Structure 1
């Protein structure tokens, strides 16, 4: 099969032919039809996180495709099923976190495209218990971004504890994660204040994504950004914020723009730290949380929502051989929505 492989950190990904993997006990072999490209894949290539993948590795954790072979012991899936191979490759299944439905923080988990070979290939092997089921109404190209960008923002929105009719501010609203997050928020009955860089994104946020307000951060101080969000959100502030912009200052702003009793939920992983006004945090009873992807239940729930037509990804299809060009464009901030690698034609 053809696969894109990180062989050396900081070097271009190599596309070459390697043997097709075979599924073991409890595993399935998936023919990948489309695979989304996430910012994490750039970090895998560069090896610039504290924790690094073991090389060589096939990146990619938004693989949408069809099961073509079952490993021994698989009884819950069948050849021909439409499935997605997402970030959570597997977990121990026995710790307190796994037993209570929080397998995403299991200390013995493995991640697709990071600790286990991923989806930038014609075929990928996944554990049957960890794949997402793609509705017939959802195309493979549309399903791919849901497998990470979708489930990650859907879970983060739940973590804000905002209720229907309340305000959430999404920092980085028009990017790969943000543009689906805005739509999940709408599906959940939330009002969205989109926060992003550049007036050119205003129409996209308000008319395409259906947000109720837009705050442009370009040329503005932190105080002006926070004031703009507070003014948009009833003059008081957001009930919750979802921080997708990979800058430490976005975290401070995400906390400052909350009204009392608000929840700031962090997803982006910039290096460094950010200051917190302890006095205001205590007196206003604000909560700061991190959120990492979503559970298997979250994954299937958000695929169902997308399959109902309430979420439509802005997708640009590219070829597997263009992966390095795609990652370069991602570094330059030139990608609107999500790039999806078209690996094979729809069956």
Structure 2
């Protein structure tokens, strides 16, 4: 990095949002930090927006299953950042200065371990997770591995690209892994939420027919996202009643049930709604995992599949963004201030946010 550029960056302030008491509360604080300097193989990205993902909440609360050690106090969270490359570390020539890039859940992966070789970079054995011990995207200036940032198409709105770095690519990857074919019927549970409306749109863009399921107040929103049918889940009692309704709207059951919520009951409903050789895609972690016990006889007799999707790899993100750049995906979002992150977390937990929340990193 040229000496004059380094001196210029050192004169700037990096405003960031940190977790004040991880594992104890959702409290966050906006602080000023020095602008970090990129090392070998790294770039410095001036971030302008960061999506707020539901996974950020359990990171803050130390409630995400599989966490090796607790999230440290003062951690900069976030893993849906978008911005512009402003400096190169030694040896870096690409991406070019001024390039629009995104930073994902996997801040870096080794690309050589068995998991990476199988295209499971988000499960890399040497992964660096953005917002968990690796400084995340709730900050104005973020260090990233040059070979691992994601190029963002020029014709894609930068703010709208932020939620696609995790929420969007997770849905796209889930549908691809489930083998969605044109004309397949897809049940979207929790369709009116931040991930839900992206599930509807990606399923439609990939040729699916969508049945959206949520509370009645979200009917108009789900239909505005091009859902073919809507079911008010509050109108049904036992699991089989709702499954019967889904099957009546889908000629015997859906090919794919996307389950992104943490409701164990919703998992049972999603499973019961499948047709022959249907696939339940597990994305959300149930509140009580042992309470969902799939019917093995049904799995064998109907040749059903249960798969999972954590997030996507570099190719998945590229394809996910290209669909949005071509106009097939319109992310519904609301811009919030950095100082509002605690309130955003609380609103997310209460189910009060329609679409996705995005932090504007240009100010408080």
The one of 255, 258, 262 equivalent to 2:274 is: 258
- Residue aligning to 2:15: 2
The one of 210, 216, 226 equivalent to 1:210 is: 226
Does structure 2 retain, via aligned residues, the 8 Å contact 1:30–1:68? Answer: yes
- Residue aligning to 1:25: 40
The one of 291, 295, 305 equivalent to 2:309 is: 291
TM-score normalised by length of structure 1: 0.95
Q: How does 1:109-258 map to 2 (within 5 A)?
A: 109-196=127-214, 198-206=215-223, 208-221=224-237, 222-234=239-251, 236-258=252-274
- Structure 1 residues not aligned, in runs of 5+: none
The superposition leaves residues 31-58 of structure 1 with CA deviations (integer Å, 9 ceiling, x where unpaired) of 1111111111111221122413344311
Give the 3-state SS of the residue equivalent to 2:166 in structure 1. helix
CA positional deviation for 1:92? 2.2
Structure 1's consecutive aligned runs of 4 or more residues displaced over 4 angstroms after TM superposition are none
CA positional deviation for 1:113? 0.9
TM-score normalised by length of structure 2: 0.91
Whether 1:66 and 2:81 are equivalent positions in the alignment is: no
Does structure 1 retain, via aligned residues, the 8 Å contact 2:60–2:71? Answer: no
- Residue aligning to 2:113: 95
Counterparts of 1:250 and 1:72 in 2: how far apart (Å)? 50
CA positional deviation for 1:219? 4.1
The root-mean-square deviation of aligned C-alpha atoms, in Å, is 1.4
Counterparts of 2:231 and 2:145 in 1: how far apart (Å)? 42
Whether 1:15 and 2:15 are equivalent positions in the alignment is: no
Counterparts of 1:225 and 1:159 in 2: how far apart (Å)? 26
Aligned pair count reads 342
Does structure 1 retain, via aligned residues, the 8 Å contact 2:180–2:208? Answer: yes
Whether 1:43 and 2:61 are equivalent positions in the alignment is: no
Q: How does 1:260-279 map to 2 (within 5 A)?
A: 260-273=276-289, 274-279=292-297
Counterparts of 2:148 and 2:277 in 1: how far apart (Å)? 35
CA positional deviation for 1:331? 1.4
Does structure 1 retain, via aligned residues, the 8 Å contact 2:18–2:75? Answer: yes
CA positional deviation for 1:187? 0.9
The superposition leaves residues 233-292 of structure 1 with CA deviations (integer Å, 9 ceiling, x where unpaired) of 12x000011101111222222211100101111111233221111111110000001111
Give the 3-state SS of the residue equivalent to 1:18 in structure 2. strand
Counterparts of 1:113 and 1:127 in 2: how far apart (Å)? 15
- Structure 2 residues not aligned, in runs of 5+: 1-13
Counterparts of 1:270 and 1:140 in 2: how far apart (Å)? 32
Counterparts of 1:158 and 1:318 in 2: how far apart (Å)? 32
Counterparts of 2:159 and 2:353 in 1: how far apart (Å)? 16
Return the index of the structure with the highest Cα Rg: 2
Does structure 2 retain, via aligned residues, the 8 Å contact 1:153–1:178? Answer: no
Counterparts of 1:150 and 1:169 in 2: how far apart (Å)? 17
